Structure 1
Amino acid sequence: MHINELHDYSGSDADEAVAKSFLSEDRKKAIKAEVGNIIDEELDQMEDYARDHISSVAASRAYKFLERVLAGDNDAGMTLLGDANGSGRYKTNDGEPWASVIHGTVFETGGIKLRRQIVEAHADLIESERIKDLESIVEGLTNQVNKLERDLREARERLR
């Protein structure tokens, strides 16, 4: 609301002097310094809480995502467990299966290990993916054994 009498700023010289003394250069500097200190304190506090906030948000998102997976959301499950076309089961661009025995143990990629660990809790979601994993393992190990047998046969022929 606008009331002319209340918004009349044409005051006396005394009023102007009081206003100028209130807004003296020293006073302006003091106010700016105090406001600067308040801003610095708030920024420091924001930095302190930012890490906690980011961690809290990340944990909340992870929890909600895991809830979706465990509730049977197939899209969320496939996002977590790997691609639907099976390219994660191969390590080379030429399409060779990744599976091999290293020091007597079948090597597992991270995705395959995760699927193996979750399969009991979520069999209906990943059963077909696990079957594809195992088929890929069999194919890779068969290729490895065939190569070893071929190398052994060739070595025996050279020694004759």
Structure 2
Amino acid sequence: MGPTRHDLLTIGQLAARSGLAPSALRYYERMGLISAERTAGNQRRYARATLRRIAFVRAAQRVGLSLEEARTALDRLPEDRAPSTAEWSAVAVTWHERIDRQIEELELLKRKLTGCIGCGCLSLSRCALYNAGDRAAATGPGARYLLTQDPAGGPEPGPAEGTG
């Protein structure tokens, strides 16, 4: 049996309860993160369980997961009720590796920044971030020197380290 008329929320009510703008809710719907029923007048009506799904997406974003990753996880959870412990555990396990990788990247970033904090980059011959002649462009987009590791797991030396 589906939700009754009293269990359904308008987009305005859902926005107020979730803290998201109606435009964000429509975007979440287009992405397949949430779904709505339509009234005879084509107005959206959301089940109260949608609030749980939105909270899940926002929690995923806070730990750095993409909306696509959140959608993949939500696809494995029931849409109309709270997930069981087993259902939730199956999803949580898939996130552990992703979150562990993110923690490793942040720890590496922290270690590399420690030497730079307060230095004002006055020692470019030892700076792990120095990019003379834009050499980093050849290695691809993004923070090439901050988020790299050598095969042993330690930080790689910066491009100019040891040349001073």
- Tell me the TM-score normalised to structure 1 length: 0.26
- Tell me the TM-score normalised to structure 2 length: 0.26
Return the index of the structure with the highest Cα Rg: 1
